[in-house]
Structure 1
Amino acid sequence: MKAAILESGKRSLQIQDIPVPKVGPHEAKVRIKACGICGSDVHLILHGTLKCKHYPKIPGHEASGVIEEIGEKVTRFKKGDRVVIAAGTSCGKCAHCLSGRENLCKDIGVFGFDREGNFAEYNIVEERYLYPLPDVIPFEQGAILADAVSTPYNAIKFRGNIQDGDNVAVFGCGGLGIHGVVIARALTKGKVIALDVDKGALDNAIAYGADEVVNLREVKNPGKALKEISKGIDLLADFSGRVSNIEESLRAMNPGGRMVMVGIGREPLKFAIPFVIIEKQITIAGSYGSDRRAIPELIDLYVQGKLNLSRSITDVRKLEDINESLHDLEDRKGNPIRFVISP
């Protein structure tokens, strides 16, 4: 099979012909139909700021495809089934995994980082990482359910406990945050406000149903701007990683408000616990990846017509175009949301 290989110390992928691994008893061979390029792939491959556990490695963690072969102990799938491959890996044995909260597993990992990923014609995947993909969902949109959509869903639905009628602020509208806007719009009739420094990202947010947008280059205090626009925020989801956004927005929060931090930044937490957090009983929570609830629930929302991902696929490209696509994502060429590779 053809696969895009990352060698240790390299800043590009090499397309190589390698053997297709054999299928184990609990595994399926999946012909990859689509695999999204995530911002973390840019950090891994072009920047080297993220690392794989071992090299060489096939990256790629947002994938969908068709099962071509199953192991003898696979019970939920058959040859020809359309599937989404979960982005995250886990031990499968601890209390968190057995309760369906795999993203709390101490051995949590990611396809393409901790084991072989999906920038390839095939991958061998354990049955527990597979989800049925209905015919109504295109492979390209199904692929990004694995991370670009399920990660913000976990943040907003499960960690943020969104309620219909909540006013929601989404900081950072890149590949994850823009789907935070999509999910918030699907789950609340309250105001959805998007904040970013990039006009293209804010244009995407408007197209996806944000009621208001705030260009953070143009305001001195985002908290004050949020308060004026919304009369109070119930849920704030930060995908930017800028702690100052959280600090400055506290006084825009309604009593009982929730803040969820998803973006990873380099700024230290510096502020003393202000009285407003105690007085308003504001919750500040972290959110990482998603658990096994997310993808089936997202598929249900899609089938019901409540989840619109039609604008999310910027372009579908060949495996041989993957390095160019990584640079296009880094440079935001064409104001992309997701480039998808079709091996």
Structure 2
Amino acid sequence: MDTMRAARLHVPSRTLTVEDVPKPAPGPGQVRVKVEAAGVCLSDVHLIDGTLSPLYLEGETVTLGHEVAGTVDAVGEGVTGWQPGARVVLQAGESRDGTTYTRGVDYDGGWAEYALATATTLVPLPDAIPFDQASIIPDAVSTPWAAITGTGDVRPGEAVGVWGVGGLGAHGVQLLRAIGAYPVVAVDPAPAARERALAFGADAALDAADPELRAKVLALTGGTGLAAAFDFAGVPAVREQALTVLGPKGRLVLVGLTAHPLTVANGTLFSYLQQQIRGHYGSDEHHVPQLVALTGGGRLDFSRSVSGVLPLEEAAEAVRRTETKEGDPVRLVLRP
């Protein structure tokens, strides 16, 4: 039996090991992809530490990795339009009978030498986009893109705020600038994160602990406040702070995940100003092709986003660096 290396999480014990497993064979409608690069996300860290748990996983063990790029290796029965060697990036999940299943969570993902994918979840990848940069487009880029263009409905010229300039927030800053939002105000307690925000295109980067934060945001927006604020941190205090600087009809978009409640300190003012709180999760299937096209056309550049590339055998080390923020990474990538 052919085998391959894969980084597998045993969910009950939250144990991650790189081990030999059978090389999967594509079934009807499936494609086997030779993985060239797979991103390491904070969600992977949360799966390992127990903060998150799979909802639909069959069995107790799963190969992690929902950010994946590679080449077609073999196709299953009934698959047309894909040939071995084609460069592809994989959607981070798929819908089955109205239920969303996440790759690397509810079924085996891309922290492996090979990965299976339903043919409809493959997106063609131009030669101009390196695999490591392409791999992070699903989720690290597509999630803020969907939050900005969909849930947040940001328009050119609108004043916006980004709380938390990590892997998602840094791309949020870049994408907000790309669509013409102004000013783009980044908020983060870490000096390195604020510097990164400016490098990624923020017009201002403020310390969340600054007692003058509200006054500074109002000064930057001509006294009106923010049209939209994005919480990429998933922290209650962040959400409450963002509400204080929203303008009339402003939208607070919750992208970061937390189980803690959100408190609206002044419900009367919130209603009077007709403000809104909008929940957001992931992206839709059309967002990844949009981003691939924009990147291939030179409108977006993610060369600064890959903070390091590690071999698959060092998956645990990549997780540690992501969790501890050692080296202040935007995204680390595994290469089988």
State if a TM-score over 0.5 links the two structures: yes
Aligned length: 328
Is the contact made by 1:223 and 1:249 (CA closer than 8 Å) also made in structure 2? no
Counterpart among 48, 63, 72 of residue 67 in structure 1: 72
Cross-structure match for 1:234: 227
Offset at 1:277?
3.0
Aligned positions of 1:19-168 closer than 5 A:
19-45=22-48, 47-52=49-54, 53=57, 54-91=59-96, 93-94=97-98, 107-168=99-160
Note the alpha carbon deviations across 1:23-54, whole angstroms, 9 max, x for none.
11201010000000000111112x22222333
Matched AA of 2:230: A
Distance 1:177 1:38 in 2: 13
Offset at 1:251?
4.5
Counterpart among 304, 314, 317 of residue 311 in structure 1: 304
Counterpart among 218, 242, 257 of residue 264 in structure 1: 257
Identity of aligned residues (%): 38
Distance 2:326 2:188 in 1: 17
Length-normalised TM-score, structure 1: 0.90
Is the contact made by 1:3 and 1:16 (CA closer than 8 Å) also made in structure 2? yes
* RMSD (CA atoms): 1.8
Length-normalised TM-score, structure 2: 0.92
Note the alpha carbon deviations across 1:87-113, whole angstroms, 9 max, x for none.
12321x44xxxxxxxxxxxx2221111
Residue 197 in 1 paired to residue 184 in 2?
Answer: no
Question: Whose strand fraction is larger, Structure 1's or Structure 2's?
Answer: 2
Offset at 1:253?
2.5
Is the contact made by 2:68 and 2:136 (CA closer than 8 Å) also made in structure 1? yes
Change (3 A) 1:84 1:220: same
Cross-structure match for 1:99: none
Note the alpha carbon deviations across 1:210-239, whole angstroms, 9 max, x for none.
11001113x136444322333321111111
Unaligned runs of 5+ in 1: 95-106
Aligned positions of 1:203-282 closer than 5 A:
203-217=195-209, 219-220=210-211, 222-231=213-222, 232-271=225-264, 274-282=267-275
SS at match of 1:18: strand
Distance 1:189 1:173 in 2: 17
Is the contact made by 1:84 and 1:131 (CA closer than 8 Å) also made in structure 2? yes
Distance 1:189 1:59 in 2: 35
Offset at 1:266?
4.1
Distance 2:41 2:183 in 1: 28
Residue 177 in 1 paired to residue 179 in 2?
Answer: no
Distance 2:318 2:123 in 1: 27
Is the contact made by 1:6 and 1:59 (CA closer than 8 Å) also made in structure 2? yes
The farther-off stretch of 27-36 and 252-261 is: 252-261
Offset at 1:167?
1.3
Is the contact made by 1:224 and 1:249 (CA closer than 8 Å) also made in structure 2? no
Change (3 A) 1:284 1:8: closer
Offset at 1:272?
5.9
Distance 2:297 2:177 in 1: 14
Note the alpha carbon deviations across 1:95-150, whole angstroms, 9 max, x for none.
xxxxxxxxxxxx22211110011100001110121111111111011110111000
Offset at 1:76?
3.3
Is the contact made by 1:83 and 1:131 (CA closer than 8 Å) also made in structure 2? yes
Offset at 1:296?
1.2
Unaligned runs of 5+ in 2: none
Offset at 1:197?
1.5
Note the alpha carbon deviations across 1:244-264, whole angstroms, 9 max, x for none.
333333353233322211111
Distance 1:75 1:210 in 2: 44
Change (3 A) 1:266 1:198: farther
Matched AA of 1:225: K
Distance 1:192 1:303 in 2: 25
Offset at 1:12?
4.4
